[in-house]
Chain A
Amino acid sequence: MSEILVGIGEFRVSKGGILKTVGLGSCIGIALYDPAIKVGGLAHVMLPQSTNGTKRSAKYADHAVEMMVEALERMGSDRRKVIAKIAGGAQIFKHMTMDMLRIGERNAEAIKSILKDYGIRIVSEDIGGSEGRTVYFFTSDGRMLVKYSKGGELWI
């Protein structure tokens, strides 16, 4: 089956396809899924929160969730049925300056509270660590495959 690549700061939705995003470091992949009608979306977000008045862009987690929920609704989804899976937020650098410390994990926390505001439940997650991740999201059944840069794999 063909893979649909989600670029950095972008999102894609699909019914039945495989959504893929590569090289998540401190960035986070947010997958939304409606199991009732088997449609899902995947976003590669860079920043937790947009500032007031910025152009809508999926690089911000709050915008990405909003845009994905809207896109799923257009495909016939009911937002009350939508669930989420998230992965990413690693710390790759060996030596960190203070302001960059735990940025990935802080991103994840912000994303959790955004999803909570939408009433979207996170069913599984894989956050933190010191390795980059590539993520495959199978919209046919809602499974997510996390491949680590150093060779490991994890289904969440």
Chain B
Amino acid sequence: MVGWFRFWIYRVFWGVIDLRSIEDMGEVELDALKELGNIGVGKAATSLSQMLGKMVEMSVPKAIVVRIQDLHKVIDVEEIVAGVVTGLDDVENGQAGFLYITFPEHSSRKLVEILLGDGSDEEMADSTLMEIGNILSSAFCDATAEMLGITLIPTPPNFGRDFAIAVIDIIISQLAEKSDYVVVFETKLEESEDELEILVILIPNERFVNYIFQMLEMVE
């Protein structure tokens, strides 16, 4: 009852009350975020299986909240990756953040081979990876809709091949004014005997963080 009341207060005073940031997240909020990653990955595995016409499994991701300054301690920022970036647009309120999906060089090559049978055409390979990025971010948006009741739409993907951090620093910089944190989901994609590493990094702005808080206040 109290929870609902507080929820409505938030609805009414949206924008007046200070938005909370990712630093305010406790264990419960982090668990919710993990669950979000979990559902998203599950959905992505289903869509990828359909697309590939064979069984694909994805491991339950760890979720780690990292300060941007410490990102090099958690991921290999100097690894050359194929990276896909999509914006997460909230239909009602505007942008909620970005999703950055990286495939290490060997994983990306393998993935394209599985999909196309031949990875020699670079342009084809790039658009294939962009499509996989698209599927993953759509799955993530589906998960947010299911869990948080918020409709997010992924923007058309951007693509780059470079150091893991160099691809994304333009996006991180844009949000750096407001937030110093990102959420890293590490997952593995398994297809028969192949194991492909995929790193999904959520770069939320404070709007996204508040979705999580709001949801938890509703179930309270």
Is the A/B pair a real complex?
Answer: yes
* In the complex, chain B residues whose CB is within 8 Å of the CB of A155: none
Q: In the complex, are the beta carbons of B68 and A8 less than 8 A apart?
A: yes
Q: Binary interface profile of B, 164-193, with partner A (CB < 8 Å = 1, else 0)?
A: 111111101110110010000000000000
Taking a contact as CB atoms closer than 8 A, the residue among A5, A47, A133, A134 that contacts B173 in the complex is A47
- On chain B, the residues within 8 Å of A96 by CB distance are 158
Task: Please name the 3 residue pairs, one residue from A and one from B, whose CB atoms are nearest each other, closest first.
Answer: A132-B166, A25-B166, A23-B165
Counting contact residues on chain B (CB < 8 A from A), the size range is 20 to 34
A22 to B167, CA, bound (A): 12
Q: Which residue of chain A is the closest to B171 with respect to CB atoms?
A: A100
Question: Beta-carbon contacts of B60-82 to A below 8 Å, as 1s and 0s?
Answer: 00000000111110000110100
Q: A93-B158, A94-B159, A94-B160 are in contact. Are A9 and B176 (CB under 8 A)?
A: yes
Question: Does A139 lie at the interface of the complex (its beta carbon under 8 Å from any beta carbon of B)?
Answer: no
Contacts of A9 in B (CB 8 A): 68-69, 176, 180
CB distance from B36 to the nearest CB of A (A): 25
Determine whether the beta carbon of B177 is less than 8 Å from that of A8.
Answer: no
Shortest beta-carbon distance, B159 to chain A, in Å? 6
A interface SS class: loop
Interface presence of B211 (CB below 8 A): no
Residues of chain B contacted by A27 (CB below 8 angstroms): 169, 173
Is B167 touching A25 in the complex (CB atoms < 8 A)?
yes
Q: Closest approach, in angstroms, between the C-beta of B86 and any C-beta of chain A? A: 12
Cβ of B163 within 8 Å of any chain A Cβ, yes or no, is: yes
Say whether A131 faces chain B, with CB atoms less than 8 Å apart: yes
| B175 → A minimal CB distance (Å) | 10
The answer, yes or no, to whether B162 is at the interface (CB within 8 Å) is yes
A134-B169 Cα distance, complex, nearest whole Å: 13
A24 within 8 A of B: yes
Which of the residues B72, B158, B160, B170 comes within 8 Å of A22, measured between beta carbons?
A: B72
Instruction: Tell me the bound Cα distance from A23 to B158 in angstroms.
Output: 18
Report yes or no: A25 in contact with B168, Cβ–Cβ below 8 A.
yes
Q: For B168, list chain A residues within 8 Å (CB).
A: 25
> Is A103's CB under 8 angstroms from B170's CB?
yes
Given pairs A7-B70, A132-B163, A149-B162, 10 additional interface contacts (CB within 8 A)? A8-B68, A8-B165, A22-B72, A27-B173, A46-B169, A46-B173, A90-B166, A93-B159, A93-B160, A149-B163
Known: A7-B71, A134-B78. A24 touches B172 (CB 8 A): no
Scoring A residues 7 to 46 as 1 if CB is less than 8 Å from chain B, else 0, what string do you get? 1111000000000001111110000000000000000001
**A23 in contact with B78 (CB, 8 Å):** yes
Given A7-B69, A7-B71, also A26-B173 (CB < 8 A): yes
